[in-house]
Structure 1
Amino acid sequence: MTAQGTEAPGRIDDSRAPVALHGAALAADASGALLWPAEGVLAVADLHLEKGSAFAARGRMLPPYDTRATLERLAALVDREKPARVLCLGDSFHDRRAGARMESADAERLRALTAAVTDWVWITGNHDPDPPEGLGGRSVAEFRLGPLVFRHEAQPGAVGELSGHLHPAAALALGGRRVRDRCFVTDGAKLVLPAFGSFTGGLNVLNPAIAGLLAPRFDALLTVRGRIHRFPRDRLSPDRGG
């Protein structure tokens, strides 16, 4: 049996899969964004802008293009979907100094992006309790719309909740090979979005930090090669060595 509001396991859509959550008809997009077409909402989680420069400041040299790559993907998504509202579910910036480290061209691109959307909302996270000023948008601790609440960290027992923070990923055997990638995870009462940022890893959904928040039966909507693969919990595998 699949989680409430989901379809048959293994269903593959070209780019997105429908998800019902607390009476709302949503769509999980292979980009890692969550769409609510009836309300004109596009939601993304955990952009972690300027993570590369934060690591560089600590002596760990990563390619300094994560912010640009993330903004390019996000801009393409906004241009394609033309949402009335964009909700960024926390940890949009890797730390409090991310705005100061951002290259001017990237900052200008972000300002243009936030200005192009009627309502751009930065939901605060543990990495960015005070999102940088001067980049557009507005900041809130959580956002409620109709039957749903959008926040950074999932709360035990919450219903109709969409969150980020945990960077969910799923692993399983598929077509004779092992596949592991970031994913959406839902039990029909709550949904956790994958991290959208370019330099973000993933935590296996079978880890108690994620599985412990959900009902015993849940589905992972795995993003692989531009498509969504939907699998119930009993098809998933722990990480090797886990």
Structure 2
Amino acid sequence: MNGSGIRDDRARRPVTLGLLHTSPVHVPVFDALRDAEHPGLGLRHHVVEDLLARARQKGPDAVASDVRAALVRAAGGGASAVLCTCSTIGGVAEAVGAGVGVPVVRVDRPMAAAAVAAGPRVVVLATVASTVGPTSALVQEEARRAGRDVSVRAEVVEGVWARFEAGDADGYAEGVARAVREVRDADAIVLAQASMAGAEELLPGGRVPVLSSPRPGLAAAAALASR
């Protein structure tokens, strides 16, 4: 019962989170994370593969209207929030999210906050150049929020994106892991794209944290959807 004596059934309703992806390979990744850490959370996947290709070609801002339309579709079916899992268009998704009708979360923001908390030297690794600018800017934004001075060094891992596009998940992960092992002078290493998270399994725990976005991004979006 609520204060007026009317039964409040909101707590009983299943919580659904919409997800906007630019590759179908992310669907099983987030399903597995949900099963392991957020049982009972409904996921509604919406995949628009050409958004990334066009954002890489023309710039993320050029696809803003299409991103908004995709977010609206991802929010359909009763979703309480939408998680954008593509780092290249994540900033645009946040910017246009006010017109979607539900909160919009970019998957890499919690990761960026964790990187800033780890120390002043942050290395951003990406496998497509279009992600470097948005992710580096996000880390700096989180640094300003935290009142910290942070230097960001960004590198593109050359030659491995073709493996991802060819469906060679193992080769892609190994290429990313190899690049991580070569990083020096860092307090945190950021894997800029959700697709890079598989490399973590190939890296032993060390002094420098290697951060990926799917797990903390899903947790933040799930918490927001449950409010």
Which structure features the higher share of strand residues?
1
* Larger RCO of the pair (alpha carbons < 8 Å, separation 6+): 1
Which structure features the higher share of helix residues?
2
Structure with greater Cα Rg: 2
